[in-house]
Structure 1
Amino acid sequence: MLPPASLKAQKGRGAVSNLQGRHEVHARSSFDDGWGAPDDAVGSSDTAAWKTQVSEEMARSILSRNSSPDLPFGVSLNPYRGCEHGCIYCFARPTHSYLGLSPGFDFESRIVAKVNAPELLRRELARSAYVPEPIALGVNTDAYQPCERERQLTRRVLEVLHECNHPVGLITKSSLIERDLDLLAPMAARRLASVAITLTTLGPAISRTLEPRAAAPARRLRTIRTLTDAGIPVGVSIAPIIPFVTEPEIERLLEAVRDAGAINAHYVVLRLPWEVNPLFRQWLEAHFPERAQRVMNRVREMRGGKDYDSSFGSRMHGEGVWADLIHQRFDKAMRRLGMHGRGGRFRQLDCTQFRRPLAVPAPVPTSRDRNAGQLDLFQSG
C-alpha cells in the first residue's frame, strides 16, 4: 500500500490513487527523486488529468446469470463498465482489471458504454428458449450514472422491457431515474417494476468523499418520495455499513427512508474484495487517519480476523459479536418502523405477462467478429 505521505484526495474522485490491477505483469510505484513531482500513479492536484472518458463497446452478450444464495435475483443487465459516481467501496472496481485498467481512478474516469445493449436484449427476449424472470438492472455499476444523460442506454433498455411486459428491478444512487417515470410508473402498476435506492449516509460531508459524484443524500430521499408518489414500490439498500464511519447512523437512516416512503430495506456491511481492500485503506488514511486502524480492526473482527471473507452466507453481513450487534440494531429499528426485509418486492414481480418482441434487429458484428473475418480472409488464400 502507498505510504500515508503519498496519499492525496482528488476533488470529485473517490479513489486516491490509480492502483495497478491484479492482472498486471509488471509492478510500478511512484517515487519522488527530488527532481520533480511524482507522476499520476499516486495522484495529482490537476483534476483534468482524470477527466471522464466514455468509450464504446459492441458487447457479445448482455444478460449475466448468477446462482448466489446471497442475491434475490438470478439475471442482471449492466449497460456500462466502470462508474463515474466514484464510490470508494464499490465491489465492481476489480472488474476494471480485466480491461487492463486500474480499479482506482480509471474505474471512475474511463467508462465503457455497451452501445448495443438494447438490441442485444431484444434479440435475447425473442429467442424461443427464453424463459422470463425478473432482470436486475444496474447491479454492478449504476445504470443512471452521469453519462446516461447523453447515452440513454438505460432508457432504451427499459423501453424494450416495457414493450415486452418484462419485469425489472432497478438499483441506483441517482435522481436521474426520475426521468423514466413515464415507463416505470405504468410498469409498476402491473407489478412489472420495482426500485431500490442505495443510501449510505445522511451526512453530505462524508458522502462527498465516500461517493463523490452520486446524488447527495437529501436528493436521494426526495427521489424516494417522487417514485413512491408515482406508485412505484421503493426499497432501500443501506450499504455499506462502515464501522465508526456510517455505522452510527443505522437507526436515523432507516427512519429517514421510511419517512420518505420506502417500504422495505436491507443492509450490507463493508466488503473489501481484491483491489477494493488497498483502495479503501488508502481512502481511510486520506480522510479519516485518526480512526483508520479502529475501522480496519472492527472489519477484521467481522471477517474472522481477515480483511475479507467471500463465503456465501456471511459475506454480506459478516460474523461475530459486532456483526450480530449490527443485525440486532437493524432488525429492531425495522420492526419499530413497520418496514420489511430485502427482496420481497423483487420476487413478487409478475413474469406471466411477458410477450416476445415483434421486431428483432439483425445481429451487428462485434469488433471481435470483424477481426475474425479479416483473419479468415487472409487464411483463405
Structure 2
Amino acid sequence: MKNKLVMVPSIKEPIQRSPGFAKKELATYKLDLMGLCGFGCSYCSSNAGNYLRINRGKFADLTEQQLGERLLPATSPELAFLWPDVLERLRAQLAQKPHTLGAGETLVVSQLTDAFSPPLLADGTTQAALSLVLAKTSFRIRVLTKNAIVGSPKWIDFFAAHPGRFVVGLSTGTLDSEWAYAVEVGTSSPQARIRALRALQDAGVPTFGMLCPVFPDTLLAEGNRSLDSLIEQIRPERCETVWAEPYNDRANWQAVRDGYPADAPGRRWLERVFGSGDRRAWSTYARDLYSRLRWAALRDGWLEKLRYLLYEDGIDEKDAPAFTGLDGVLLQSKPAEDGRSANRAIAAIQGVTP
C-alpha cells in the first residue's frame, strides 16, 4: 500500500503520560511520531479517538488542499498524517528535562500510531526519535508495531546495542493472512511478524506477546490458523509478558465486517453481536478466549505472564464465574465508587480465589 501523505500540525510535546496504557500495565508514558498511522487497520481505535475526532474537519480541509481530494481516515486506509517538526518538538521537550526522566518507567513507542510506519522509516524519523530518547532519558522503551522490519538485522543490532533499554513486540491476533490483508491494510503479514518476533528472541532481545485483538473466528479455526497455533508461534516462554484482548466495538465494527467474505463466520458474528445487539454472544466469546488462554498458560507454566485486557461491563452474570480468581485479568471498564467493578457479577468474585 502506498501512503497518501498529509502534513498536519504537530502536538506540542510528543512524550506524554498514558493513563490508559498504565491501566493495561504496558507503559506509563507514550511517544507518537505522527498524527495518523501509515497502516490502515480497520479495527484501530485511533480513528474514533479524541485527536482525530476533534480535528476531523481541519484535517479533511488540509487533505483536500494538499491532495486535491477530501479523504477521511475511517474510509481511506492509505491516508497518513505526518508531523513535519516532530523531531524538533521532541528535542525541545527533552532539552527541558533531566536525563533521569523515565527512570524505572516504561515509554511505549507508539500508542496511537505505529512508529515503524513506512513514511517514518523512509526519512529516518523513527531511528532519530529512538536515539533521542536513549540519549536524553532513562526510560525503558516498549516498541509496539505491526512491521516485521524490527526483526531485520539492522534493527536487531540497534536494539541489542542498548541492553536493558528495549522490549519489542509485534501485535498479532491471527495467523490468517487473507483476513489480515483485508483488515490490517498495509501491515506485514502475521507470518512475517511471527518470524520477526522469533528472530528478536533468538538474538536475545527482550520481547512481549501482543494478541490484541483476537477475533472470534480464531477461536473456531483449526490447524495453523487456530488460537492454539497462534499461542505456540509467539513462544510465550520466551516473552516477558503476554497481552491478549477480545475485540471490542470501537464504532468501527462495520469496517471490520467488510473485511470478511460474505459467508464468513466472522462476518456473521459481527453482524449478530454489534448489528443486532447480541451482547450475550460477545460475553461468551470473551469468556471462551480467556478460558483457553488461561488453560494454555497454566499448562505450559506462563500464567504469571498473562495480561488479559477485559472491558468487563459486557460480561454476563452467567459467564462471570469463568473469571473467578481473575488470574491474569486486568479489568478495564470504569469502576464503581468503591473501586470494585461496576459489573456486580464481576465485583462479587473480586478478591475470591478458586
TM beyond 0.5: yes
Contact 1:115–1:153 at 8 Å: present in 2 too?
A: no
Give the Cα separation in 1 of the matches to 2:246 and 2:298: 20
| Residue pairs, 1:209-248, within 5 angstroms | 209-245=182-218, 248=221
Q: Quick one: structure 1 residues 290 and 326, their matched pair in 2 at CA, closer, same or farther if it must change by over 3 Å?
A: closer
Contact 2:39–2:78 at 8 Å: present in 1 too?
A: no
TM-score of the superposition, structure 1-length normalised?
A: 0.64
Aligned-pair identity (%): 18
Higher helix residue share:
2
Identify the residue that residue 124 of structure 1 maps to in structure 2. 93
1:103 counterpart = 2:73: yes
Instruction: Give the deviation of 1:182 after TM superposition.
Output: 3.4
Contact 1:158–1:183 at 8 Å: present in 2 too?
A: no
Instruction: Give the deviation of 1:218 after TM superposition.
Output: 1.8
Q: Specify which of 73, 76, 82 is matched with residue 36 of structure 2.
A: 82
Which structure has more relative contact order (CA 8 Å, sep 6+)? It is 1
Structure 1: gaps (5+ residues) = 1-11, 13-50, 307-317, 344-381
TM-score of the superposition, structure 2-length normalised?
A: 0.69
| Residue pairs, 1:203-352, within 5 angstroms | 203-245=176-218, 248=221, 249-258=226-235, 261-274=238-251, 276-284=252-260, 287-291=261-265, 292-298=267-273, 304=279, 320-339=283-302, 340-342=305-307
Matched length: 276
Instruction: Give the deviation of 1:297 after TM superposition.
Output: 3.0
Contact 2:241–2:307 at 8 Å: present in 1 too?
A: yes
Identify the residue that residue 196 of structure 1 maps to in structure 2. 169
Higher gyration radius (CA) = 1
Instruction: Give the deviation of 1:246 after TM superposition.
Output: 6.0
Instruction: Give the deviation of 1:126 after TM superposition.
Output: 2.8
Identify the residue that residue 46 of structure 2 maps to in structure 1. 92
Partner SS for 2:37 = coil
Instruction: Give the deviation of 1:247 after TM superposition.
Output: 5.7
Q: Specify which of 92, 95, 113 is matched with residue 141 of structure 1.
A: 113
Identify the residue that residue 350 of structure 2 maps to in structure 1. none
Give the Cα separation in 2 of the matches to 1:104 and 1:88: 8
Structure 2: gaps (5+ residues) = 61-71, 309-354
Q: Quick one: structure 1 residues 99 and 300, their matched pair in 2 at CA, closer, same or farther if it must change by over 3 Å?
A: closer
Contact 1:148–1:154 at 8 Å: present in 2 too?
A: yes
Q: Specify which of 48, 56, 63 is matched with residue 15 of structure 2.
A: 63
Name the amino acid aligned to 2:36. G
Q: Quick one: structure 1 residues 86 and 63, their matched pair in 2 at CA, closer, same or farther if it must change by over 3 Å?
A: same
Give the Cα separation in 1 of the matches to 2:275 and 2:29: 31
Instruction: Give the deviation of 1:211 after TM superposition.
Output: 1.3
Give the Cα separation in 2 of the matches to 1:322 and 1:111: 33
Contact 2:180–2:190 at 8 Å: present in 1 too?
A: yes
Identify the residue that residue 131 of structure 2 maps to in structure 1. 159
Contact 1:243–1:299 at 8 Å: present in 2 too?
A: no
Give the Cα separation in 2 of the matches to 1:56 and 1:103: 14
CA RMSD after TM alignment: 2.9
Q: Quick one: structure 1 residues 159 and 332, their matched pair in 2 at CA, closer, same or farther if it must change by over 3 Å?
A: same
Name the amino acid aligned to 1:181. I
Give the Cα separation in 2 of the matches to 1:161 and 1:140: 18
Give the Cα separation in 2 of the matches to 1:294 and 1:136: 33
Give the Cα separation in 2 of the matches to 1:197 and 1:58: 28
